[in-house]
Amino acid sequence: MAAPEKILILRLSSIGDLVLVSPLLRNLQRRFPQAVLDFAVKEEFAELVRYHPAVRTVHLVRKQDGWRGLWQLGNGLRRQNYDLILDLHRNFRTALLGRLSAAPQRLGYRKHRVRRWLYVRFKWKTLAEIPPIVQRYVQAAAPLGVPDDGAGTEIFWTPQHEEEATAALQAAGGKPEQSLIGLAPGAGYFTKKWPVEYFTELAAAITQKEREAVVVILGGAQDRELAENLCRKNRGSFLDLTGRCSLLASAAIVKRCRLLVANDSGLMHIAEAVRTPLVALFGSTTKPLGFFPQLSSSRVLENLNLDCRPCSHLGHEACPLGHFRCMREMMPQQVYEELGKLKLDSR
């Protein structure tokens, strides 16, 4: 393939996926330093790519604009004369945008839908040799000679986001000298969420044994009820920041944390991107699906004694079998012991 001069990345959502795209952006910039690299993404996730040094323009997909807006965006992309489309979403919307752009070259990553279905439905080892998603995104550009530098994910923000993070911590009662340990109790689906009462027990153990530590609860506005329940049942020192700052300010706070405990969620991927030691809790999803943490500073806890896992490649709003053993049998003491292995005083 000829070296492209203008490249458009299509990945509309979500938090974790957009963090996992970052190695491809970095490696594309190194391979084609003179090329223009743009990105199309849903408006609510745009800040995750807007400040990446490799990205020139971010094209927004707005929910309120509907299909007419998508069609108009596609026609606008055509006028940009892109040489190459890299479709890292591969759904109907991105396929439409790719076609409307009229780019002469279009590449995508392999979703392995059939293999994934067989693995989830029958537990066959059809994904055993498939690389994780972060590597598959980079491999989408392999025909262009783009390598994987193995340097992992990254995320970028501005000094204003640092100021926002500091203001949010202060508004919640935090002090600059305090040592932070983060908890992220939210996730996109119920079967990815460790029970809130377990987070409560864990938080109590942390504050009892780590007198200097302050527990920071992180998440979006949708996680406020979880955080309120956690705080209501605990008398320890908590800073509830759920829904109180932007996503990038939350990322800046995660970077300040000594450790983070998170479900399989966007904040889990952000922790790896900012190199905060992580304990990740996995319920209905498993490693072969491609979203496991990649760093040696991260630890994963999961119930390996269940033949019903995974029950979905995304998650469910209720346990299909009604027992929810994948999360219920993962006890707070186990998680606290994993934190100890990471050394609670590591920062």
For 190-196, what is the mean pLDDT? Answer: 97
Is it the case that residue 336 has pLDDT exceeding 70?
yes
For 93-109, what is the mean pLDDT? Answer: 96
In 210-245, which ranges are continuous DSSP H helix?
Answer: 224-232
Residues 6 or more apart whose Cβ sits within 8 Å of residue 163: none
> pLDDT value at position 315?
96
Helix and strand numbers (H, E) in the chain are 14, 11
Average pLDDT of the chain is 94
Give the single-character DSSP code of 172.
T
> pLDDT value at position 1?
66
Q: Could you name the CATH architecture of 6-142?
A: 3-Layer(aba) Sandwich (3.40)
Structure confidence by residue, pLDDT tens digits, 4-20: 999 999 999 999 999 99
Give residue 60's Cα distance to chain centre.
19
Query: Do residues 41 and 11 touch, judged by C-beta distance below 8 A?
Result: yes
Structure confidence by residue, pLDDT tens digits, 207-245: 888 878 899 999 999 999 989 888 886 666 789 999 999
pLDDT category, 249, cuts 50, 70, 90? Answer: very high
User: Given this chain, do its domains 6-142 and 159-341 carry the same CATH topology?
Assistant: yes
> pLDDT value at position 229?
85
Query: Do residues 93 and 61 touch, judged by C-beta distance below 8 A?
Result: yes
Spans of all domains in the chain: 6-142, 159-341
E-assigned strands of the chain? 6-10, 36-42, 58-61, 84-87, 105-108, 179-184, 213-217, 238-240, 259-263, 278-282, 298-302
Angstrom distance (rounded) from CA 133 to CA 291: 6
Is it the case that residue 347 has pLDDT exceeding 70?
no
Q: Could you name the CATH architecture of 159-341?
A: 3-Layer(aba) Sandwich (3.40)
pLDDT category, 268, cuts 50, 70, 90? Answer: very high
